[in-house]
Structure 1
Amino acid sequence: MSGEVVQLKHEGSQLQVVVAGAIAGVVSRFVIAPLDVIKIRLQLQVHSLSDPLSTRGFEGTIGTFRSILRDEGFTGLWKGNVPAELMYLCYGGVQFSTYKYTSTLLETLPSPYELPGSAVSFISGATAGACATTATYPLDLLRTRFAAQGTERVYTSLGASIRHIAKHEGPTAFFRGLGAGVSQIVPYMGLFFASYEALKPAMANSPLALPFGGSDAAAGIIASVCAKTAVYPLDTTRKRLQVQGPMRSKYAHRNIPMYSGVIGTLATISKREGMRGLYRGLTVSLVKAAPAASVTMWTYERAIAGMLMLEDKAAAE
């Protein structure tokens, strides 16, 4: 790399992009797992505007953290980590490879159909997000259900959860809330990659030089925080829909209402809990977004650089 600002979509072969994306996803997931569990618990916490006493369970980020440690132990902060690691492994590979393929395809459009760089980044990011979300959604749903478990074990194992959902809720249950997921991820990933591509050269050429690839991490943080805030209500909607089903009353928060559909869920939360309900857990989500994005992009860039270095050495021998 030697100081050059190389655009993400031009780095490495398709296989190298898949491998680097998968590595970045796995590393990032393990680092931010505790924050993810806390965020999910907060998103599932229901508080009715008409009943001030309706809030049960956990109150706030610190309260949630302390309650999990007290009642479930340190390992409770990594609940759902197995399906989540599998999800991030697959998600990272699909996301980055789709992004590279789509952006390369769009850049070959003949005149007068060429698109500006920002549009290419946005469309490629949105497409990558939609494909990765759909491909890994069953694992995302399982991650949410395991993270929602309190002291009572709703599912004894990953295999048991798959069999139980398939038997009692049907195969389509694995995609419950997918509409909200895709509706969220398309603008999120589009905004994220467009912002990242624009910020990356600016951060690399900043008068305040950041060591150890810090410019990649900084660009990832800023891009992720902005995009996350814009689409957060859809993330809350997705989480509420993912825990619907016959086991709903057995999770850590036992007062989760019945919801149906993306629009209906958004409307119900807004009516019963106000706008605050749609943004419950946003603070910890933003705290999570910063290290998640920075670790993901930093790991991705380092993995690509390492593979390109090995490739150059092998070619020189």
Structure 2
Amino acid sequence: MTEYALGALAACGAGFFTNPIEVVKTRLQLQGELQARGLYQRHYRNPIQAFFAIAKTDGILGLQKGLGPALVYQCTMNGIRLGSFQVILNSGLTKDKNGNQNALKCVLAGCFAGMCGAFVGSPIYMVKTHLQAQSTSSIAVGYQHHHNSSYQALREIYLKFGIRGLWRGASGAVLRTMVGSGIQLSTFTLIRDKIAGLNLWPSGSVCVPISASFVSGIMISICMTPFDVVSTRLFNQGVDSTGRGQHYTGVLDCFMKILRKEGVPGLFKGLTASYLRLGPHTALSLVFWDRLRRLYYGNNNK
């Protein structure tokens, strides 16, 4: 249970600081949904312009939309994800016969941990996406759900569509997090151990996890963005009276429609914003995680 709590605390700390760029990323991913480039109004030209446009139109607090569910999601999903991954590491299941970390086993462990965390946290991630997309009409993109609060959103979805409605879009979230988690946790663990073995910094230096986390952030941004775009679209789309999506029937349908209507660039919308969010978030969450474990366990933390 300790490993799960440490993972949750680390993720919440990172989530607080990176939520504004998450709002920007969500808006960029929804802009021009299923429309060819040049056929829609671009409210957001790049992450920096989008940041100031949101602050000017929705107010400075508009950059922290969805913060509540974002922190709950980080606590839930990453508590399970980081905790499960560390439990697997502690069990020795990711090591080869010589006691060294095996890359493929680390990737599979990260994927499994991410799958578990994403499935449990899917309802709150959906609400987070809805709230982050909400905006003043002059700069609104994507479907507008008009929720007043996280609780009201969850209650309304449950009353209309039942338990199944709360997990609408979960397939996209699970796939997104499996890919991201497999890359993030495996690269962080392997690179951290490699850097530590080079003795570039004193034992226990924070420079070791920081260096490893920034490399991990680059890898995860490139590989995860298409799945992140699909997940955002599946969660945010409007639904009919039966709970069926108005645009997409599932992950594959979403991929294909984006490719047909928006081309390959459509799958990489918000890539820069993704790194600006994932880079710091990866660095902060993994460094917080590493430091919290070191504080709790002492210098025997592995």
Q: Does 1:22 align with 2:15?
A: no
Q: What secondary structure is seen at the aligned counterpart in 2 of 1:258?
A: coil
Q: What is the deviation of 1:80?
A: 0.3
- Matched letter for residue 286 of structure 2: M
> Does the C-alpha gap of structure 1 residues 108 and 291 become closer, same or farther in structure 2, counting only changes over 3 Å?
closer
Q: Which is worse superposed, 206-215 or 290-299?
A: 206-215
Q: Which is worse superposed, 139-148 or 198-207?
A: 198-207
> Does the C-alpha gap of structure 1 residues 50 and 237 become closer, same or farther in structure 2, counting only changes over 3 Å?
closer
Q: Does structure 2 conserve the Cα–Cα contact (< 8 Å) formed by 1:169 and 1:245?
A: no
Tell me the equivalent position of 2:172: 180
Q: What secondary structure is seen at the aligned counterpart in 2 of 1:215?
A: helix
Q: What is the deviation of 1:106?
A: 5.7
Q: Does 1:258 align with 2:244?
A: no
> Does the C-alpha gap of structure 1 residues 53 and 123 become closer, same or farther in structure 2, counting only changes over 3 Å?
closer
Q: Does structure 2 conserve the Cα–Cα contact (< 8 Å) formed by 1:203 and 1:215?
A: yes
Tell me the equivalent position of 1:64: 50
Distance across 1 between alignment mates of 2:232 and 2:37: 23
Q: What is the deviation of 1:50?
A: 4.7
- Matched letter for residue 215 of structure 2: I
Q: Does 1:155 align with 2:147?
A: yes
Tell me the equivalent position of 2:140: none
Q: Which is worse superposed, 264-273 or 299-308?
A: 299-308
Q: Which is worse superposed, 93-102 or 22-31?
A: 93-102
Distance across 2 between alignment mates of 1:60 and 1:277: 14
Q: What is the deviation of 1:109?
A: 9.8
Q: What is the deviation of 1:129?
A: 0.4
Q: Which is worse superposed, 171-180 or 234-243?
A: 171-180
Tell me the equivalent position of 2:296: 307
Question: What pairs up with 1:168-247 in 2 under 5 angstroms?
Answer: 168-206=160-198, 209=201, 213-246=206-239
Q: Does structure 1 conserve the Cα–Cα contact (< 8 Å) formed by 2:192 and 2:209?
A: yes
Distance across 2 between alignment mates of 1:224 and 1:213: 17
Q: Does structure 2 conserve the Cα–Cα contact (< 8 Å) formed by 1:16 and 1:304?
A: no
Q: TM-score, normalised by structure 1?
A: 0.82
Distance across 1 between alignment mates of 2:88 and 2:72: 24
Distance across 1 between alignment mates of 2:25 and 2:95: 42
Question: What pairs up with 1:66-85 in 2 under 5 angstroms?
Answer: 66-85=52-71
Q: What is the deviation of 1:158?
A: 1.6
Offset from partner CA, 1:176-226 (integer Å, 9 cap, x none): 222122222223212222211221023234575389502201201211321
Offset from partner CA, 1:53-84 (integer Å, 9 cap, x none): 32343222122112111111111111001011
Q: Does 1:269 align with 2:258?
A: yes
Q: What is the deviation of 1:294?
A: 0.8
Tell me the equivalent position of 1:7: none
Q: What secondary structure is seen at the aligned counterpart in 1 of 2:263?
A: helix
Structure 2's unaligned 5+ residue stretches are 138-144
Q: What is the deviation of 1:94?
A: 0.7
Tell me the equivalent position of 1:11: none
Q: What secondary structure is seen at the aligned counterpart in 1 of 2:38?
A: coil
Tell me the equivalent position of 1:143: 128
Distance across 2 between alignment mates of 1:275 and 1:108: 35
Q: Does structure 1 conserve the Cα–Cα contact (< 8 Å) formed by 2:169 and 2:235?
A: yes
Q: Does structure 1 conserve the Cα–Cα contact (< 8 Å) formed by 2:94 and 2:106?
A: no
**Structure with max Cα Rg:** 1
Q: Which is worse superposed, 161-170 or 15-24?
A: 161-170
Distance across 1 between alignment mates of 2:271 and 2:94: 39
Give aligned pairs, total.
287
Structure 1's unaligned 5+ residue stretches are 1-14, 248-255, 312-317
Q: TM-score, normalised by structure 2?
A: 0.85
Q: Which is worse superposed, 271-280 or 186-195?
A: 186-195
> Does the C-alpha gap of structure 1 residues 306 and 70 become closer, same or farther in structure 2, counting only changes over 3 Å?
same
Aligned-pair identity in percent equals: 23
Q: What secondary structure is seen at the aligned counterpart in 2 of 1:59?
A: coil
Distance across 1 between alignment mates of 2:4 and 2:120: 14
Distance across 1 between alignment mates of 2:95 and 2:227: 33
> Does the C-alpha gap of structure 1 residues 117 and 245 become closer, same or farther in structure 2, counting only changes over 3 Å?
same
Q: Does 1:134 align with 2:126?
A: no
- Matched letter for residue 119 of structure 1: L
